[in-house]
Structure 1
Amino acid sequence: MNRIRFVKHIVGAALLAASAATFAGEVPFTQASFDQTVSSGRPAVVYLHASWCPTCRVQKPIVDRLSADPKLKQVTIFIADYDAEAKLKRELKVTQQSTFVVFKDGHEVARSTGQTQEATIRAVFEQAL
């Protein structure tokens, strides 16, 4: 009985992960999910933010709106904590919070730092498509 329940949980977790990949939107950054998304060529944006950053506080509601936009539903937006993700910052050569790094077909195609205009941020995100 426990074995069947365990298998059901594993299958459920796999289905949940697959559905999250289908409907992208905002997800917390993890190295494994980021690596999987980029290596598969799916469109992605890494948003390095800090809770203490005034620019990031302006950007966050914009990012929330864009992640809900049907046109951008294929784009996975990884939300990464600027202060906690030292390895990611080195890997992406990011030196400032409020930075967006955009990936398409497994390669970086754009980046933006400090933008607070929704139209400009949308244009940056759309480069992932």
Structure 2
Amino acid sequence: MWKTIARIFLVAMLAFAAGGAVGGEQPFDQAQFDQLNAAGKPVIVYFHATWCPTCKVQQPIVDRLSAQPDMKQVTIFVADYDREVALKRAMKVTQQSTFVVFKGGHEVARSTGQTRERDIRDTFAKAL
């Protein structure tokens, strides 16, 4: 069993390393965010809380959308709503379950509390 767990962990780490800072979901990292934003790359910051029922509905939708081919060029940062206090203040986020979408180095869309896949997809599409 431990070998299986170790293999899964190794594969996950290799996949993350191969993905770099482009595409998929990853924990928020200010340096990577700044670099991607300065380069004009599409970025979404998702303010998520583990205790949030809306976030629990959103998460599988975000997972599905981030796996779609057209979203591979978009980096989705997951920001811990409870811990990223300075980031919330800087982005003027007042609620968990908020998506802030950047394109060309500027915020182009924002939504809070969306739980319908179509609505979330429409918000994410603004990064493309």
Task: State whether TM-score is above 0.5.
Answer: yes
Identity fraction in percent: 68
Is there any run of 5+ residues in structure 1 with no aligned partner, and where? Answer: 1-15
TM-score in terms of structure 2 length: 0.84
Instruction: After TM superposition, list the pairs within 5 Å mapping 1:9-24 onto structure 2.
Output: 16=17, 19-21=19-21, 23-24=22-23
Matched residue type, 1:35: D
Q: Which residue of 2 is the match for residue 46 of structure 1?
A: 45
Provide the residue aligned with 1:31 in structure 2: 30
Runs of 4+ in 1 over 6 A off after TM superposition: none
1:39 Cα deviation from its structure 2 partner: 1.1
Look up the equivalent residue of 1:57 and give its one-letter code. K
TM-score (structure 1 length as normaliser): 0.83
Q: Match of 1:111, SS?
A: strand
Aligned residue identity for 2:20: A
C-alpha displacement of 1:50: 0.4
For the residue of structure 1 that corresponds to 2:20, the secondary structure is helix
Match of 2:68 in 1: 69
Q: Distance in 2 between matches of 1:28 and 1:39?
A: 19
Q: Which residue of 2 aligns with 1:93?
A: 92
Q: What is the one-letter code of the residue matched to 2:83?
A: A
1:86 & 1:39 partners in 2: Cα distance? 22
Q: Distance in 2 between matches of 1:81 and 1:69?
A: 24
Q: CA shift at 1:92, angstroms?
A: 0.3
Matched, 1:109 2:122: no
Number of aligned pairs? 112
Amino acid in the other structure paired with 2:106: H
CA displacement at 1:111 relative to structure 2: 0.2
Instruction: Give the distance between the partners of 1:123 and 1:71, measured in 2 at CA.
Output: 13
Please give the secondary structure, in 1, of the residue aligned with 2:77: strand
Offset at residue 30 of structure 1 (A): 1.0
